[in-house]
Amino acid sequence: MLPRVIVLAGLAAAVAQLQAAPPPEPSRGIAADGRVVTSPYGVPPPWGRDIVHLEKPHYPESLRTKHPEATGFFRLIFDLRTGRVREVIVERSSGYPDADANIVAALRQWRLKPNTWKEFEVHLSMGIGTKPPHI
């Protein structure tokens, strides 16, 4: 009887942790003038209005049979003069290498108005039935 009680107590603790999980971290951006701007998760960030081309990631065929949602956290570094992406850094992987590769490929095609942002971070999700990126 004692082992069952321990398992149930452990399960209850795990459920409590899931319910108390903190929201995803806020996104940060560095403006052209060097200001650091923080945007809480779920709130449209100020750099959203400066995106002139947003490419959606392709949902990998290898994940279609499983139907997972792939969510990651990415940092984009821009050429300030042109607004083109210089580098994409995977800050937190989605856990699916194919999804991460497709997200990075799409992010590399994003363009900003020139002289607006040096870099910023984005949370991106993709999967069957997911909403488009909240930028």
DSSP 46: G
Residue 44: which CATH number? 3.30.2420.10
Residue 109: predicted pLDDT: 97
Which whole number is the average pLDDT over 125-129? 73
Residue 67 lies in a domain: yes
Give the range of the structural domain holding residue 36, as residue numbers without chain letter: 23-126
Query: Is residue 77 a part of any domain in this protein?
Result: yes
Residue 131 falls inside a structural domain? no
Q: For residue 56, tell me if it sits in a domain.
A: yes
**53, 87, 43, 60 alpha-carbon torsion, rounded to 10°:** 70
Confidence at residue 59, expressed as pLDDT on a 0 to 100 scale: 81
Where is 106: in which H helix or E strand?
A: helix 97-107
Per residue in 48-91, pLDDT (tens digit) is 999 999 998 888 777 777 767 888 999 999 999 999 999 999 99
As a whole number, mean pLDDT of residues 80-107 equals 95
Residue 16 counted as domain residue? no
pLDDT at 10: 41
Q: Is residue 43 part of a domain?
A: yes
Q: What is the pLDDT of residue 64?
A: 75
- Please state the domain count of the chain: 1
